[in-house]
Amino acid sequence: MRKLYSRSLQAVAVLAMAYGLAVAGLYWVMCQPLDRFSAVMARMPGPAFAVLPFVPLWNSARGGDLRVGDMAPDFELKTADETSRVRLSSSRGQKPVVLVFGSYT
């Protein structure tokens, strides 16, 4: 009986270590450039999504360090018609700016 308890404890310890390594590996992948991250995620087995904490890891890996009330970092983008470029700082203090991420098609 004691030997069974010892083996069970060892098995639980090995599973806990494997889970910890999987979580650490996933966090490392989430910190990589998006093309590398997407290549790994394309090969991720379906059950992993039910077992690993994707949302908290993603929020930690990609959350950034901006807080409510912080000034947005400056950036430059092409206009929708791609005829010119616009810089965020050119509108600062003059007019409201709304950023929309995603597609509404």
Evaluate if residue 37 carries a pLDDT over 80.
Answer: yes
- Residue 21's SS3 state is helix
The reported pLDDT for the residue numbered 42 is 92
Report residue 96: phi and psi, to 5°: -70, 150
Q: How far apart are the C-alpha atoms of 17 and 54, rounded to whole Å? A: 18
pLDDT band at 73 (very low <50, low <70, confident <90, very high): confident
Using the CB atoms, write b or e for 32-41: b if 16+ within 10 Å: eeeeebeeee
H or E, element range at 72: none
| Residue 57 structure tokens | 């890891």
Q: What is the DSSP string of 34-48?
A: HHHHHHHHTT--TTH
The reported pLDDT for the residue numbered 102 is 73
Taking residues 9-35, report their average pLDDT. Answer: 94
